[in-house]
Amino acid sequence: MEFIDYYKVLGIDKSASEADIKKAYRKMARKYHPDVNPNDKEAEKKFKEVNEANEVLSKPENRKKYDKYGKDWKHAEQFEKAGQQQGGYSNQQQNPFSGGGNAGGGFGNGDFGGADYTDFFESMFGGASRGRTGGQSKFRGQDFNAELQLELKDVYETHKRTLTVNGKNIRLTIPAGVKDGQEIKIKGYGGDGVNGGPKGDLNIRFAIQNDPLFKRDGDNLYETVELDLYTALLGGEQMVNTFDGKVKLKVAPETPNGTKVKLKGKGFPIYKKDGAFGDLIITYELSLPKNLSPQEKELFTQLSNLRKS
């Protein structure tokens, strides 16, 4: 009978703890599971070896016998009884069967690794193993991930959009106020399940492009507005853009460069809060006149002299 080292099968050494054995078993069982490797005879063979190794090494009493008697661990009681009758083994004879394990005494169909087999695969595949069809587990389908690129104006109002994913048209409602990087889940639009299991989900991530005029930070919008020198000095009115049209603002005399003005409720819609909006923050950036005429230069010179005196 072919010799198989159970420690080697699980990829661990003899000093491995119970936690190490359990972790290694989960990893190897998932790798070689028949539902992950359909019609793969070699993987099926490895899967049985992994479960045999776990059946022996995960149980302290079995492991103790295996470490002492190797492939003949199942006959430990007979060897111990014979040793007692012969006055025990010498130091050289104490462990004549050590050095590894063997696939002897294998498992029947459906007997893979003891009572925790079902619990293990339910946890490993997200609770997908809810029933059996022809002796096979049902597993949930794979989740799909997609990215939808939008402009800032596209998410200012709630609207519907049709997406095509894997040849299927999906009518999607995009709520106003969706943020860049936000994800939504559409159940049942992922991959097909295994053995009649449920379909996976479709996860859509929104990638919202920057706007040339407005900068968005949370629910607030920020805009820089050029203010000419004369309006800044003498006061007046200034037209500014908001996301839903233009508004006229009053500018106080002697408004300094960098002055900020908050327009409440003129920012971005707040996600899933109908009628609620953030604020629009305006920053005035002073614009100096260019290409001055001789007369303008003379007047500015007079103003400068007046300030000095």
pTM of the model: 0.54
Full set of structural domains in the chain with CATH: 6-131 (1.10.287.110), 144-208 (2.60.260.20), 215-308 (2.60.260.20)
Going residue by residue through the chain, which has 309 residues, state the pLDDT in tens, using 9 for 90 and above: 455 788 998 999 989 999 999 999 888 888 888 777 878 888 888 888 888 889 889 989 888 888 887 766 776 666 565 555 544 443 333 333 333 433 333 333 333 343 344 444 444 444 444 444 445 677 888 888 888 999 999 999 999 998 887 788 888 999 999 999 999 999 998 888 888 889 999 999 999 998 999 999 999 999 999 999 999 999 999 999 999 999 999 999 999 999 999 999 999 999 999 999 999 999 999 999 999 999 999 999 999 999 887
Q: How far apart are CA 112 and CA 52, in angstroms?
A: 7
